[in-house]
């Protein structure tokens, strides 16, 4: 029983001539100050229809309600404030969570429609950047959240494995590289070659021409070029896989840019047919001045295609293959113009589904306020960051719980979970500074703190051997537990809000809130204490345990039973 539903049902009789049940439910809100009531119904929107002063309307409606349905009903100006019956609400809440378990909050809103999520998408021959880490964890959490409410997410790792840079890399490898060196430390060596190429090219511009020529060969399927490219790709993917394994993120497709190499002729032909291409110094562009955007460069004068050309081909392919209801692109904010152009070109082509292409941007991770960059070899190696977090988590565990079995696996879950949680807890568009020490702290608004609270619940339940009894009802009506119960009730709404805004931080903030509120309860109330309420208090602990675990799961974070 959801509080809003109870109130809406009560109001329906009085308002049936003016508002539908849905409208009423929509209007119900939470008062800013909890002393004002658990929920409130503002009557502003009725004032126009009923042609009366809001205060009067509120008074009149309140008089028509059955006072027995609530603990109290107060009219304050244009608001009708409701205090719910704590025993009833707590009973219904525990009953629902304890029976639905990890399905609490499941919805069928998505109607099983597909949502391809373009995420992670690192570039081969380069280290995976912090930006790619963000894309990976944000995309993964959005996929889990959408799945929870009935969509069918489809995670696509659109690997950056095509473009003129591979021509340059081949040139550099043939001039200064060796098989041995690449095999030994693939990404580092390939990055070195790439950096060297650019340094040399500053004094020797002919290198650029050589690079272009080799990329042309690659595009034309030249054997040597293809072979080298395939090898670089494989070595890179193997290294990326180690990071994905640590994060436990999987993909449904690795179709990267090269997959579209033979699929670009079609969109280009369509653009020609629709007379959208204009020539600009030999290059083909789509004019987007009507959208206040720079023209989209589709084909260079030498016939080479570009990043956006491949994205056009991939968008068409995804629409045709997945018949998506929405297509998400979890990509840094710095590419927002690119996605505006992509949408605009699709719109010009006459596809109304261009509206369903959604760029889900995010901000930068900084270090001491400065952008982390991969250029000039100044890189932060992700794998090292994750390993470091695991080491720090291990040290914390050794200190707090030295006899724990399976310390290494728990340290991995806590260390990696900490990095993921730290990334997801802020609005995704915010930039944030990265400091490992902050990430793995057990106190404050961190992943380990939430995990620790979950483990605390699990431990109470273990110690008391508590199990729910099928025909027993659990009720609480004290004010300490009420704060926890209200939050438990709000879990499904938090999921929906996170999904609507493509914002995992909503879920991260929710679990922090629940953990903090529970810990306050834990500090005030003696939970394990033999009286007739003990069973109900343990039902609350069990409910919190389940919701924290499921909330963390939706972020891609484990909830160990002990830590
Ligand atoms: N590989 C690109 C990069 O690292 C990101 C690709 C994003 N996805 C897309 N469909 N454009 O910047």
Q: Is there an atom of ligand 1 within 6 Å of 311 CB?
A: yes
Q: State the CATH number of the domain containing residue 45.
A: 3.30.1360.70
Q: Is there an atom of ligand 1 within 6 Å of 118 CB?
A: yes
Contact, 33 vs 45, CB < 8 A? no
Is residue 538 domain-shared with residue 389, that is, in the same domain? yes
- Hey, whose CA ends up nearest to atom 10 of ligand 1? 311
0.90 cut: is pTM over it? yes
Is residue 43 domain-shared with residue 176, that is, in the same domain? no
C-alpha distances in Å from residue 332, one per residue of 11, 319, 345, 365 = 46, 23, 20, 10
Is residue 32 domain-shared with residue 171, that is, in the same domain? no
Residue 273 forms part of a structural domain: no
Q: How many residues does the chain have?
A: 563
Most informative mutation of 240, 317, 331, 342 for ligand 1 (most atoms within 8 A of CB): 331
Number of domains in the chain: 3
Residue 455 forms part of a structural domain: yes
Asked whether the CA dihedral 386, 388, 391, 395 is positive or negative, the reply is negative
Q: Is there an atom of ligand 1 within 6 Å of 257 CB?
A: no
Across 45-101, the runs of DSSP E, i.e. the strands, are: 72-76, 79-83
Query: If you measure from the C-alpha of residue 219 to the centroid of ligand 1, how many angstroms do you get, rounded to a whole number?
Result: 20
Give the pair of three-digit tokens for residue 390.
Answer: 């695991």
Give the pair of three-digit tokens for residue 332.
Answer: 């840094």
Query: If you measure from the C-alpha of residue 122 to the centroid of ligand 1, how many angstroms do you get, rounded to a whole number?
Result: 7
Asked whether the predicted pLDDT for residue 376 surpasses 70, the reply is no
Is residue 77 domain-shared with residue 177, that is, in the same domain? no
- The mean pLDDT value for 255-281 works out to 95
Is residue 409 domain-shared with residue 545, that is, in the same domain? yes
3-state secondary structure 201-264: HHHCCHHHHHHHHHHHHHHCCCHHHHHHHHHHHHHHHHHHHHHHHHHCCCCCECCCHHHHCCCC
pLDDT at 50: 86
Residue whose token pair is 């060969």: 217
Residue 333 forms part of a structural domain: no
- The mean pLDDT value for 279-307 works out to 94
| Nearest atom in ligand 1 to 307's CA | 11
| Residue 124 φ/ψ region, left for φ over 0, alpha for ψ in the -120 to 50 degree band, beta for the rest | beta
Q: Is there an atom of ligand 1 within 6 Å of 110 CB?
A: no
- Hey, whose CA ends up nearest to atom 6 of ligand 1? 121
Most informative mutation of 117, 132, 160, 317 for ligand 1 (most atoms within 8 A of CB): 160
Query: Distance between CA 77 and CA 512 in Å, rounded?
Result: 34
Using CA atoms in the order 497, 498, 501, 502, what is the torsion angle rounded to 10 degrees? -160
Asked whether the predicted pLDDT for residue 12 surpasses 50, the reply is yes
Give the pair of three-digit tokens for residue 253.
Answer: 């497709």
Asked whether the predicted pLDDT for residue 277 surpasses 50, the reply is yes
Query: If you measure from the C-alpha of residue 123 to the centroid of ligand 1, how many angstroms do you get, rounded to a whole number?
Result: 8
- The mean pLDDT value for 104-129 works out to 95
Asked whether the predicted pLDDT for residue 1 surpasses 80, the reply is no
Tell me which of 51, 84, 117 is where a domain ends.
84
Is residue 440 domain-shared with residue 538, that is, in the same domain? yes
Q: What is the ipTM of this complex?
A: 0.99
DSSP code for 120: -
Q: Is there an atom of ligand 1 within 6 Å of 260 CB?
A: no
Domain that holds residue 184: 163-247
Residue 180 forms part of a structural domain: yes
Q: Is there an atom of ligand 1 within 6 Å of 123 CB?
A: yes
- Hey, whose CA ends up nearest to atom 4 of ligand 1? 122
Residue 355 forms part of a structural domain: no
Query: Distance between CA 346 and CA 286 in Å, rounded?
Result: 11
| Nearest atom in ligand 1 to 314's CA | 10
Order the strands of the 370-371 sheet from edge to edge.
Answer: 370-371, 365-367, 432-433
Confidence of residue 112 (pLDDT cuts 50, 70, 90): very high
What is the DSSP track for 401-454? -TT-TTHHHHHHHHHHHHHHHHHHSS-TTS-EE--HHHHT-SSSSSHHHHHHHH
Q: Which residues pair with 41 in a beta bridge?
A: 80
Residue 98 forms part of a structural domain: no
Residue 33 forms part of a structural domain: yes
C-alpha distances in Å from residue 159, one per residue of 335, 373, 492 = 16, 19, 34
Q: Which residues pair with 280 in a beta bridge?
A: 283
Q: Which residues pair with 152 in a beta bridge?
A: 114
Query: If you measure from the C-alpha of residue 160 to the centroid of ligand 1, how many angstroms do you get, rounded to a whole number?
Result: 6
DSSP code for 536: H
Query: If you measure from the C-alpha of residue 360 to the centroid of ligand 1, how many angstroms do you get, rounded to a whole number?
Result: 12
| Nearest atom in ligand 1 to 132's CA | 4
C-alpha distances in Å from residue 42, one per residue of 6, 21, 119, 317, 479 = 16, 15, 42, 48, 25
Query: If you measure from the C-alpha of residue 331 to the centroid of ligand 1, how many angstroms do you get, rounded to a whole number?
Result: 7
- Hey, whose CA ends up nearest to atom 1 of ligand 1? 160
Q: Is there an atom of ligand 1 within 6 Å of 158 CB?
A: yes
Q: Is there an atom of ligand 1 within 6 Å of 457 CB?
A: no
Residue 311 forms part of a structural domain: no
Query: If you measure from the C-alpha of residue 278 to the centroid of ligand 1, how many angstroms do you get, rounded to a whole number?
Result: 26
pLDDT at 401: 92
Least confident of 158-167, 336-345, 434-443, 466-475: 434-443
Tell me which of 84, 107, 125 is where a domain ends.
84
Averaged pLDDT score across all residues of the chain? 93
Query: If you measure from the C-alpha of residue 190 to the centroid of ligand 1, how many angstroms do you get, rounded to a whole number?
Result: 19
Tell me which of 221, 247, 273 is where a domain ends.
247
C-alpha distances in Å from residue 121, one per residue of 131, 327, 332, 372, 482 = 10, 15, 11, 18, 45
Query: Distance between CA 454 and CA 295 in Å, rounded?
Result: 52
pLDDT at 345: 98
Confidence of residue 378 (pLDDT cuts 50, 70, 90): very low
Q: Which residues of 454-483 are buried (b: 16+ CB within 10 A; e: fewer)?
A: bbbbbebbeeeebebeeeeebbbbeebbbe
Asked whether the predicted pLDDT for residue 116 surpasses 90, the reply is yes
Asked whether the predicted pLDDT for residue 389 surpasses 60, the reply is yes
Is residue 534 domain-shared with residue 433, that is, in the same domain? yes
Q: State the CATH number of the domain containing residue 532.
A: 1.10.730.10
Is residue 410 domain-shared with residue 516, that is, in the same domain? yes
Is residue 413 domain-shared with residue 543, that is, in the same domain? yes
Is residue 190 domain-shared with residue 46, that is, in the same domain? no
Is residue 408 domain-shared with residue 511, that is, in the same domain? yes
Q: Is there an atom of ligand 1 within 6 Å of 236 CB?
A: no
Is residue 399 domain-shared with residue 516, that is, in the same domain? yes
pLDDT at 3: 84
């Amino acid at each position: 029983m959801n509080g809003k539903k109870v109130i809406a049902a009560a109001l329906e009789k009085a308002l049936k001539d003016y508002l539908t049940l849905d409208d009423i439910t929509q209007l119900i809100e939470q008062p800013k100050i909890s002393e004002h009531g658990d929920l409130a119904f503002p009557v502003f929107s009725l004032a126009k229809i009923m042609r009366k002063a809001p205060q009067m309307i509120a008074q009149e409606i309140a008089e028509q309600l059955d006072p027995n349905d609530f603990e109290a009903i107060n009219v304050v100006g244009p608001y009708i404030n409701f205090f719910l019956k704590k025993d009833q609400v707590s009973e219904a809440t525990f009953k629902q969570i304890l029976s639905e378990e990890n399905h609490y909050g499941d919805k069928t809103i998505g109607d099983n429609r597909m949502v391809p999520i373009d995420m992670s998408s690192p570039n081969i021959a380069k280290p995976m950047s912090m930006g790619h880490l963000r894309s990976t964890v944000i995309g993964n959490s959005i996929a889990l959240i959408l799945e929870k409410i009935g969509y069918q997410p489809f995670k696509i790792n659109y690997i950056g494995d095509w473009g003129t840079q591979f021509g340059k890399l081949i040139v550099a490898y043939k001039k200064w590289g060796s098989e041995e060196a690449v095999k030994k430390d693939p990404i580092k060596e390939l990055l070195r070659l790439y950096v060297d190429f650019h340094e040399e090219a500053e004094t020797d511009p002919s290198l650029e021409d050589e690079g272009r020529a080799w990329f042309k060969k690659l595009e034309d399927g030249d054997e040597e070029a293809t072979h080298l490219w395939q090898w670089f790709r494989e070595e890179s993917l193997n290294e990326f896989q180690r990071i994905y394994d640590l994060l436990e993120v999987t993909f449904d497709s690795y179709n990267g840019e090269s997959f579209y190499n033979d699929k670009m002729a079609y969109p280009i032909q369509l653009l020609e047919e629709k007379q959208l291409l204009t020539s600009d110094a030999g290059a083909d562009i789509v004019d987007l001045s009507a959208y206040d955007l720079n023209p989209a460069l589709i084909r260079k004068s030498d016939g080479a295609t570009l990043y956006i050309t491949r994205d056009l081909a991939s968008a068409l392919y995804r629409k045709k293959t997945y018949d998506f209801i929405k297509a998400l692109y979890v990509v840094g904010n710095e590419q927002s113009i690119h996605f505006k152009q992509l949408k605009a070109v699709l719109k010009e082509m006459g596809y109304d589904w261009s509206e369903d292409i959604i760029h889900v941007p995010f901000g930068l991770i900084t270090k001491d306020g400065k952008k982390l960059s991969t250029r000039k070899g100044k890189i932060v190696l992700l794998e090292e960051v994750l390993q470091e977090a695991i080491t720090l988590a291990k040290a914390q565990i050794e200190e707090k719980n030295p006899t724990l079995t399976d310390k290494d696996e728990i340290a991995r879950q806590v260390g990696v979970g900490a990095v993921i949680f730290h990334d997801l807890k802020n609005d995704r568009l915010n930039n944030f500074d990265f400091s490992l020490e902050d990430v793995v702290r057990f106190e404050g608004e961190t992943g380990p703190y939430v995990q620790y609270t979950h483990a605390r619940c699990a431990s109470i339940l273990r110690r008391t051997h508590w199990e729910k009894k099928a025909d027993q009802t659990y009720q609480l009506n004290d004010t300490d537990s009420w704060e926890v119960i209200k939050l438990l009730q709000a879990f499904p709404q938090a999921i929906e809000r996170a999904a609507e805004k493509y914002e995992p931080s909503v879920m991260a903030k929710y679990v922090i809130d629940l953990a903090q509120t529970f810990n306050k309860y834990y500090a005030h109330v003696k939970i394990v204490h033999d009286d007739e309420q003990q069973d109900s208090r343990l039902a609350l602990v069990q409910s919190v345990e389940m919701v924290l675990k499921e909330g963390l799961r939706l972020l891609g974070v484990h909830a160990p039973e002990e830590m």
